[in-house]
Chains A and B, each alone.
Chain A
Amino acid sequence: EDQVTQSPEALRLQEGESSSLNCSYTVSGLRGLFWYRQDPGKGPEFLFTLYSAGEEKEKERLKATLTKKESFLHITAPKPEDSATYLCAVPRGNQAGTALIFGKGTTLSVSS
């Protein structure tokens, strides 16, 4: 069964304290992995797409990496405004007429 698992469920950091969020997946034939940021009461905001093992994408203090079994979202020197829930998702199956499976997310809190 296709599955996406994120860890930890919650993460508290001090401003400037770097860390990583994990997204592990079990799907046959990965056709992309997506990272999103969600603020309370808002819809998820798209951050990155990764398609192949070894690929990396960066945006400000965030860097996403991908291996054959998992993806990491590295947060370097976070600021309070990085506080949000981070979601990862992968397409189900191998057909374009499909939908995404989402993990339950990691809620990040950064304090000053």
Chain B
Amino acid sequence: DGGITQSPKYLFRKEGQNVTLSCEQNLNHDAMYWYRQDPGQGLRLIYYSQIVNDFQKGDIAEGYSVSREKKESFPLTVTSAQKNPTAFYLCASSMDGFQPQHFGDGTRLSIL
């Protein structure tokens, strides 16, 4: 079945540590997105990529980094500069910005 796979489901970060969240899709979508979801805040856009080797900052990119070396993969690194990383992180993909996005089941990141 085609879909989006996020891993791990749960992740714990130590002080000063960088952690990487994985997102893989087999839908042959060109565009991929990362969102952060906090209670009462809705989905906030971190980064997005319309094509391989290109990506743009979203509304809350500070403290995060991404890469898009393959069409299928869009990993997100939460750096030590992100002082409040505890949240639910969602990855999505779509054919382009005007098409529906399809989501993975998220990674919940917590601080140790």
Query: Given A44-B90, A87-B42, A103-B42, A97–B101 Cβ distance below 8 Å?
Result: no
Query: Is B17 in contact with chain A by the CB < 8 A criterion?
Result: no
Report B96-112 CB contacts with A as 1/0, cut-off 8 Å: 11101111111010000
Residue from the set B4, B45, B97, B101 with the largest chain A CB neighbour count within 10 Å? B97
B86 to nearest A CB, angstroms? 15
A9 to nearest B CB, angstroms? 8
- Once the chains bind, are B90 and A46 in contact (CB under 8 Å)? no
Q: How many residues of A contact B (CB 8 A)?
A: 25
- Once the chains bind, are B48 and A102 in contact (CB under 8 Å)? no
B1 to nearest A CB, angstroms? 14
Query: Given A87-B43, A99-B58, A104-B42, A31–B98 Cβ distance below 8 Å?
Result: yes
Interface footprint category on B: 20 to 34
Q: Tell me which residues from 32 to 72 in chain A have a Cβ below 8 Å from any Cβ of chain B.
A: 32, 34, 36, 41-46, 49
- Which A-chain residue is minimally distant from B50 (CB atoms)? A97
Report B1-20 CB contacts with A as 1/0, cut-off 8 Å: 00010100000000000000
- Once the chains bind, are B58 and A49 in contact (CB under 8 Å)? no
Q: Is the interface of A mostly helix, strand, loop or mixed?
A: loop
Query: Is A105 in contact with chain B by the CB < 8 A criterion?
Result: yes
> A91 vs B6: C-alpha distance in the bound complex, in angstroms?
24
Binding site for A on B (CB under 8 A): 4, 6, 31, 33, 35, 40-43, 45, 48, 50, 58, 90, 92, 96-98, 100-106, 108
Contacts A/B (CB < 8 Å), 14 sampled = A34-B101, A41-B106, A41-B108, A42-B106, A43-B103, A45-B103, A87-B42, A87-B43, A91-B98, A95-B97, A96-B98, A100-B101, A102-B43, A105-B42
